[in-house]
């Protein structure tokens, strides 16, 4: 495993982080037993993955807590998140503090390393900054978490307007953002500032349906061609990546693309299968894509906004509550 420091937090983290949400939710989304999901976490840890990212809406905090119960606390970095609203109503400071306490109870921990406000929409940012962050910072002073973070809602904020503002100011120490081969806006809007300011970065949406399901990729490409955003000649615009000396498949290419972008600290991956943990880690630890391939990716897709940012099923359900 390769390790880095998460921004200016001082936390030593694996460059591959296990995301415990998404459609998989450690296998819970496809009917895995609790024991099987715990085994996924333990497999990741055995391979050197020391950063685990979960959230109250994922329904996996208790699984994470069970999986790390026998691991010395200083050997694992725990990131979790709470919603900034209940349905259409913005949460109060007291409510997010209660959510933090509930997360700690579910994981049987006295503190987490990073606590985020989850999927904050641009219109709610001022509330998050002025009402919720101060309440949470008082809990940080009590030792309940070490670093305050904020995550964007990629499907609802494709231009990354919220993080473009948040990345330049206190108190946010870590951000979670969307970036992938066909959605590169963060290369300009977020990552340079994060690197300059020492804000830790966790990447999500690196591999979604667009790269793991051929039908989803075809639908996206057909739409881009029809709207004139990519040339008709590029009806199979990613085929060039799959060759000797290149990537073994699109998932491999997607992880390697994200991992080596300047300003990236941790690439999150999610799965419910132990075998996929190994293959995903192998890809994230793989070499940078060839320069010619990267140039073609930048030239072909660098102008696109909001492609392939499908919301996880669990988040869709939570948004309706």
pLDDT tops 90 at residue 316: no
- From 100, 122, 129, 123, select the one nearest 113 (Cα to Cα): 100
Q: Residue 5 carries which DSSP code?
A: E
Contact assessment for residue 52 and residue 68, using Cβ atoms and an 8 Å cutoff: yes
Q: Tell me the pLDDT band of 314, cut-offs 50, 70 and 90.
A: low
Q: What is the pLDDT of residues 65-115, one digit of tens each?
A: 999 999 999 999 999 999 999 988 999 999 999 999 999 999 999 999 999
The residue written with tokens 């959230």 in the block is: 55
Give the residue-averaged pLDDT of 296-321. 79
When the pLDDT of each residue in the chain is averaged and rounded to a whole number, the result is: 94
Residue 224's pLDDT is 92
3-319 is classed CATH 3.30.1360.200: no
**For the residues of 4-33, what is the DSSP string, one character each?**
EE-TTS--EEESEEEE--TTTTTTGGGT--
Give residue limits of the domains in the chain.
3-319
List Cα–Cα distances, 210 to 180, 217, 270, in angstroms.
10, 5, 15
* Cα gap 17→19, rounded to integer Å: 6
Beta-bridge partner residues of 117: 82, 150
């Amino acid at each position: 495993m390769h390790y880095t420091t998460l921004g200016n937090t001082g936390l030593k983290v694996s460059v591959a982080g296990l995301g415990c949400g998404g459609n998989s939710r450690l296998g819970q989304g496809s009917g895995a037993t609790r024991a099987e999901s715990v085994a996924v976490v333990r497999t990741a840890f055995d391979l050197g993955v020391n950063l685990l990212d979960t959230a109250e809406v994922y329904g996996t905090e208790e699984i994470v807590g069970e999986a790390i119960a026998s691991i010395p606390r200083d050997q694992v970095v725990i990131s979790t998140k709470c919603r900034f609203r209940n349905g259409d109503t913005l949460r109060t400071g007291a409510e997010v503090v209660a959510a933090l306490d509930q997360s700690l109870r579910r994981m049987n921990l006295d503190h987490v390393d990073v606590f985020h406000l989850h999927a904050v929409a641009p219109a709610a940012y001022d509330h998050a900054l002025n009402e919720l962050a101060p309440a949470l910072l008082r809990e940080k002073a009590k030792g309940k978490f070490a670093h305050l973070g904020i995550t964007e809602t990629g499907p609802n904020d494709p231009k990354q307007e919220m993080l473009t503002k948040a990345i330049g100011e206190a108190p946010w120490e870590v951000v979670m953002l969307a970036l992938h081969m066909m959605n590169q806006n963060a290369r300009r809007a977020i990552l340079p500032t994060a690197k300059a300011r020492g804000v830790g970065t966790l990447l999500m949406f690196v591999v979604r349906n667009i790269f793991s399901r051929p039908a989803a990729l075809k639908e996206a490409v057909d739409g881009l061609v029809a709207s004139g955003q990519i040339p008709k000649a590029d009806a199979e615009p990613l085929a060039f990546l799959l060759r000797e000396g290149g990537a073994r498949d699109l998932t491999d290419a997607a992880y390697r693309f994200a991992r080596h972008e300047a300003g990236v600290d941790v690439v999150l991956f999610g799965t419910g299968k132990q075998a996929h943990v190994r293959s995903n880690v192998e890809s994230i630890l793989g070499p940078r894509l060839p320069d010619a391939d990267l140039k073609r990716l930048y030239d072909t897709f660098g102008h696109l906004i909001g492609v392939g940012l499908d919301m996880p099923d669990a988040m869709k359900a939570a948004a309706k509550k």
